[in-house]
């Protein structure tokens, strides 16, 4: 208690305590008694707080007791135990990095669905530079299939993969990034049973290679030779290809492009059996059959023996690429769009692709000339029966497009071709210079 208060209490005591004061009144507690009691109370409170620790929170609803700063006699706390020895080489505790949201992660989901995809594999092949209305990839299986696939790779379809059981069939100029060697056999010697076994045992590797190298596409074109052991076994990969397309949410499917051996090659029973086996496997899938005998006949006398098959593969790749490209272009007259293309490609059965040039557009029977010309110059065997779907694409010069008589004949040509298919899609494109009226047809469902 302050000294001023003490002196005040003493003076009051001397003032009121007289000789007439009774003994009972004299024995009543004085200010010094209250001072001593207050000190004892504060000392006990300080000791209790010391024993509980400085961080012990007060009970809910109870006020926190504060020790008065004017207590004259300090409370001596018990000595704390010595701190543990510091570890000289102890690793610092890991500190969690602060997020862009400063630890407040209620909105950390907003970047989870950004358009920017996660960084892909280093094995991912470059995007196709060739113009196409659909996202597609080409898978060449076996020696002949690999050589045909190279024709598309040379045109800018970088999403191309060659699958084989031997490096001896790797075409010259194809980098290792586009080649997948399957273990288990150094070639299969036209043994289709062995080819199917090797492909089936490595189907997971093929699917993984397509996923890591090709990435995400909607359509897969499988290219194979009908006489070999590896190529003729390619249909065994169908389940893996379907699983891949389903996993990437593809809108398309698998289309087979198969080469038919020449008449001389078909004299060999093994080659014949392999070819017939593959044709039986793909019969219920969309497929294109390329007749090597017909290609040789069309190219004989135009190229030498060394360049015969490379030229045939290159010409077919250019022909098929034009269909994919034109479906991606606008037309001031009539367009053949991507949905039309997908409808034709998805038709079950065989497709026939061909083209022709008509230099004299004054012929009144222009429709028959265009249709028959596409079939005659096609590398595919001539079809039989009526087609389910088809596309007729005409490329004309500005002068042709401006001539009313030519326009009427083109309309008649579409009617002629349309009468030979259940559904016909058409397109008219204006380009120059041209050697004449160019027609490209793709008829499916045979």
Domain check: are 187 and 232 in the same one? yes
Domain end residue (candidates: 294, 326, 358):
326
| pLDDT at site 43 | 76
Domain end residue (candidates: 263, 294, 326):
326
Q: Is residue 108 part of a domain?
A: no
Q: How far apart are the first and last CA of the chain?
A: 115
Confidence of residue 104 (pLDDT cuts 50, 70, 90): low
| pLDDT at site 194 | 95
Sheet with strand 349-358: strands edge to edge: 179-181, 160-164, 136-141, 219-225, 254-260, 286-291, 349-358, 437-444, 387-396, 421-430
Domain check: are 305 and 403 in the same one? no
Closest by Cα among 294, 296, 319 to 307:
296
Q: Is residue 445 part of a domain?
A: yes
- Provide mean pLDDT across the span 388-395: 96
Domain check: are 190 and 140 in the same one? yes
Question: Rounded CA gap, 372 and 355, in Å?
Answer: 10
226: tokens are 């009908």
**CB 423 within 8 Å of CB 390:** yes
Question: Rounded CA gap, 419 and 246, in Å?
Answer: 36
For the chain, what percent of residues have pLDDT higher than 90? 60
Domain check: are 226 and 356 in the same one? no
Q: Is residue 61 part of a domain?
A: no
Domain check: are 201 and 316 in the same one? yes
Question: Rounded CA gap, 432 and 194, in Å?
Answer: 51
Domain check: are 222 and 136 in the same one? yes
Instruction: Note the pLDDT tens digit of each residue in 146-204.
Output: 999 999 999 999 999 999 999 888 888 899 999 999 998 888 989 999 999 999 999 99
pLDDT at 12 over 90: no
**What 3-state class would DSSP assign to 187?**
coil
Position with higher pLDDT, 445 vs 108: 445
pLDDT at 256 over 80: yes
Question: Rounded CA gap, 280 and 66, in Å?
Answer: 96
Q: Is residue 310 part of a domain?
A: yes
Domain check: are 308 and 356 in the same one? no
φ and ψ at residue 12, rounded to 5 degrees? -65, -35
Domain check: are 309 and 356 in the same one? no
Range with the poorest average pLDDT among 223-227, 240-244, 346-350, 358-362: 358-362
Instruction: Note the pLDDT tens digit of each residue in 16-25.
Output: 444 555 555 5
Q: Is residue 321 part of a domain?
A: yes
Tally of domains within the chain: 2
Q: Is residue 54 part of a domain?
A: no
Domain end residue (candidates: 260, 293, 326):
326
pTM of the model: 0.74
What residues make up the domain containing 376? Answer: 348-446
Residue 102, phi-psi category: left (phi > 0), alpha (psi -120 to 50), beta (remainder) = left
Domain check: are 184 and 272 in the same one? yes
286: tokens are 């969309």
Q: Is residue 425 part of a domain?
A: yes
| pLDDT at site 187 | 84
pLDDT at 211 over 90: yes
For the chain, what percent of residues have pLDDT higher than 70? 74
Instruction: Note the pLDDT tens digit of each residue in 113-146.
Output: 665 554 455 789 999 999 999 999 999 999 999 9
Question: Rounded CA gap, 26 and 299, in Å?
Answer: 142
The CATH number of the domain holding residue 407 is 3.30.1330.20
Domain check: are 311 and 165 in the same one? yes
The CATH number of the domain holding residue 248 is 3.40.50.1440
Domain check: are 136 and 225 in the same one? yes
Per the prediction, the chain carries an average pLDDT of 83
Domain check: are 273 and 148 in the same one? yes
Range with the poorest average pLDDT among 203-207, 297-301, 340-344: 297-301
**CB 215 within 8 Å of CB 120:** yes
For 141, the enclosing helix (H) or strand (E) is: strand 136-141
| pLDDT at site 234 | 98
Confidence of residue 296 (pLDDT cuts 50, 70, 90): confident
Confidence of residue 9 (pLDDT cuts 50, 70, 90): very low
Q: Is residue 99 part of a domain?
A: no
Cβ neighbours of residue 369 closer than 8 Å, sequence gap 6 or more: 356, 358, 363
pLDDT at 318 over 80: yes
């Amino acid at each position: 208690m302050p000294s001023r208060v003490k002196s005040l209490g003493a003076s009051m005591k001397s003032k009121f305590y007289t000789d007439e004061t009774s003994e009972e009144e004299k024995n009543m507690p004085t200010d010094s008694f209250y001072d001593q009691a207050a000190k004892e109370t504060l000392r006990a409170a300080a000791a209790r707080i010391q024993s509980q620790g400085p961080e012990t929170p007060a009970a809910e609803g109870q006020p926190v007791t504060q020790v008065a700063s004017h207590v004259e006699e300090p409370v001596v706390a018990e000595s704390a135990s010595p701190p543990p020895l510091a570890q000289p080489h102890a690793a610092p505790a890991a500190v969690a990095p602060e997020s862009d949201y400063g630890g407040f992660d209620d909105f950390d989901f907003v970047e989870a669905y950004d358009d920017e995809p996660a960084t892909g594999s280093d094995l991912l092949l470059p995007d196709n530079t060739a113009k196409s209305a659909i996202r597609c990839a080409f898978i060449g299986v076996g020696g002949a299939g690999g050589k045909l696939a190279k024709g598309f790779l040379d045109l800018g379809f970088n999403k191309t993969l060659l699958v084989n059981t031997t490096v001896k069939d790797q075409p010259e100029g194809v980098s290792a990034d586009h080649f997948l060697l399957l273990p288990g056999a150094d070639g299969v010697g036209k043994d289709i049973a062995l080819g199917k076994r090797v492909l089936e045992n490595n189907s997971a590797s093929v699917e993984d290679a397509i996923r890591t190298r090709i990435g995400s596409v909607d359509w897969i074109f499988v290219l194979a030779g009908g006489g070999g052991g590896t190529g003729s076994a390619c249909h065994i990969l169908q389940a893996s290809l379907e699983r891949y397309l389903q996993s990437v949410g593809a809108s398309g499917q698998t289309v087979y492009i198969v080469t038919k051996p020449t008449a001389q090659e078909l004299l060999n029973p093994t080659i014949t059996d392999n070819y017939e086996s593959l044709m039986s496997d793909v019969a219920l899938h969309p497929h294109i059959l390329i007749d090597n005998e017909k290609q040789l006949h069309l190219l004989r006398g135009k190229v030498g023996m060394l360049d015969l098959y490379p030229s045939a593969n290159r010409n077919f790749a250019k022909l098929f690429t034009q269909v994919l490209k034109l479906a991606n272009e606008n037309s001031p007259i009539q367009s053949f769009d991507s949905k039309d293309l997908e409808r034709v490609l998805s038709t079950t059965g065989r497709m026939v692709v061909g083209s022709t040039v008509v230099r004299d557009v004054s012929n009144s029977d222009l429709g028959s000339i265009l249709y028959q010309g596409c079939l005659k110059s096609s590398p595919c065997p001539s079809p039989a029966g009526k087609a389910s779907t088809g596309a007729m694409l005409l490329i004309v010069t500005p002068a042709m497009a401006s001539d009313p008589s030519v326009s009427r004949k083109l309309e008649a040509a579409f009617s002629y071709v349309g009468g030979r298919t259940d559904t016909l899609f058409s397109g008219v494109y204006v380009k120059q210079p041209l050697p004449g009226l160019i027609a490209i047809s793709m008829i499916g469902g045979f």
